[in-house]
Amino acid sequence: MLDKIRNIGKKANLLLGVDISSNSVKILQLSKSGDKYKLENYVIRPLPDKAVVEKSIGDIDAVGECVSSAVSILKPSSKDAAVAVAGSAVITKTIEMNAALSDTDLEY
C-alpha cells in the first residue's frame, strides 16, 4: 500500500489520508519529505451511533456530513486523497449456483 501512496504523492507535495471507522472519521494531511511522508495536521470527528455498522455505511448522509466537517476544520491546501478499504469490503458478491454443477460449468 505504501508504494501506491508514493505514486499518488509524486503528483503533489501534499496528500490527505482518509479513514472512516465505525465510530469516527479521521483525516490526515501529509507532506512529502524526500521518499517519506510527514504528518502535518489531522482531524478526528466522531460519527453518530449506527452511521457505520460492521464495516458498512448505514447512514451515508451522516458520514458525508462528518467528512465535510472534518475537511472544513482542517482546511487542507490539497484535494488529493488516499483512502484504504478493508480487504473484505473491496469485492463482495454473492452468486447463487446449483450445487450439482461440475467444476467446468462453475468456471463459466
pTM above 0.85, yes or no: no
Q: Which residue has the cell 508504494?
A: 3
pLDDT tens for residues 7-28?
A: 444 445 788 888 888 889 999 9
What pLDDT is attached to residue 73? Answer: 92
What pLDDT is attached to residue 86? Answer: 64
**Residue 69 structural domain:** 2-107
pLDDT tens for residues 52-89?
A: 887 788 888 999 999 999 999 988 887 778 877 666 55
What pLDDT is attached to residue 3? Answer: 43
* Average pLDDT over every residue of 30-36: 85
Pairing of strands 81-83, 24-33: unpaired
Q: Which CATH number is 83's domain given?
A: 3.30.420.40
Per the structure, the count of domains in the chain is 1
